[in-house]
Amino acid sequence: MPPAYLKKATRTAESESAGVTETVKLILDTIEKGGEAAARSYAEQFDRYGGNIVVTRTEIEAAAASLPQKLKDDIRFAHDNVRKFAEAQKSTLGDVQIEIVPGLIVGQKIIPCQSAGCYVPGGRYSHIASAIMTVTTASVAGCSHIAVASPPRPDTGIHPAILYTADICGADTMLALGGVQGVAAMAFGLFGLPRADILVGPGNQFVAEAKRILFGRVGIDMFAGPTDSLIVADDSADAEIVAADLVGQAEHGYNSPVWLVTDSPALARAVMDIVPKITASLPEPNRSSAEAAWRDLAEVIVCQDREEMASVADEYAPEHLSVQARDLDWWLGRLRCYGSLFLGEQTTVAFGDKAAGTNHVLPTSGAARYTGGLSVHKFMKIVTWQRATEEGARPVAEATARISRTEGMEGHARTADIRLAKYFPGESFDLFQAG
């Protein structure tokens, strides 16, 4: 019997992208041609901001002084956790070399990107945590220059908490530029920045589209759509906690789907009763966002057993996957497709979003089938090298010559031939394809 839907989405989580590509391409082209003046013009048009673009040290210090100490302590706590986890991730990569055949040594070397551009949203919500996740991780990776672009508020500039956070996490330059113009400034190297090697960080559909268009000229973390979350829960789960976690993610926006997968019809019905009550208690605009996401996109799915629950979760490949069920080790071993996994009710997506240490820049829209989220590895290049003695080059040259001629690539073959002739004069080699 297939899983039963007690609640089915009435539409998909499309990004309402009609016309976005053309708009973003026009802005990027205009800024590339017009440079800083064009970027300033868009800042005035979209952000209603006419202040200085490059944030000064005086402004950063004033921002820090304006914040309560408790908030600064919380930011440093989150930064330390993200830093420690990024350092642990970095330790899993290292330089390697191996003698493949006698006299032939090959290896890998880890080299960080030189310049990273981090976008930090600051429109409806001031995403302090996005500054922590992107800047800290780039800093641990060893990027030599880290730029931040974040939307300014009219007359006041970037939110003080974002400035403070980006500064302590290691940003070298901060730009009061939001949207496509912020992404473009980092990509094109405006306002004294080096051109970004990689662009990272969440943003609205215009930011995501700008990164998509620029991909190839620069690296990006991933193609991102609306955030999504799935909870797997059995009859041992607390319905109120499950409901609160679903609402907590639905408040991201009207196009942020949430899903409940359970083998308990009673739990499913209880959660469906509780969600509207929790949603109604939120302030605006959170309430309207959560109501729309729950009404249009949420799904509640009842399965026969935990294996079917796991299969459904893997099929959805959610950005965030929470398990509130018995035998957490079984779930950790069984689940395959998710951006980040939260095991047990003692942890929740918000912990990962803000302060637990794992990164919150994660694959959306089913992309967890083939990729993970932002990590220190995204800022690091794994490059390879080789060296050989004359004897070590011999078997490789012979094989290369024959394979190349079989492929029809005579020029390649002759680069092997010339070395064999030089290193082993007077010897004869069979360097042509059979037949």
- Note if 251 is an active site residue: no
CA atoms within 13 A on the CB side of 228: 28
Rg of the chain over Cα atoms, rounded to whole angstroms, equals 26
Which residues lie closer than 8 Å to 168 by C-beta, 6 or more apart?
75, 76, 79
Token couple for 324:
């509130």
Catalytic one of 319, 345, 407, 412: 319
Catalytic one of 127, 252, 320, 360: 320
- 27 and 177 Cβ atoms separated by less than 8 Å: no
Read off the amino acid at residue 283: P
- Note if 377 is an active site residue: no
- 13 and 257 Cβ atoms separated by less than 8 Å: yes
Token couple for 409:
């690539």
CA atoms within 13 A on the CB side of 151: 23
Which residues, in sequence order, are bridge partners of residue 233? 262, 324
Catalytic residue set? 319-320
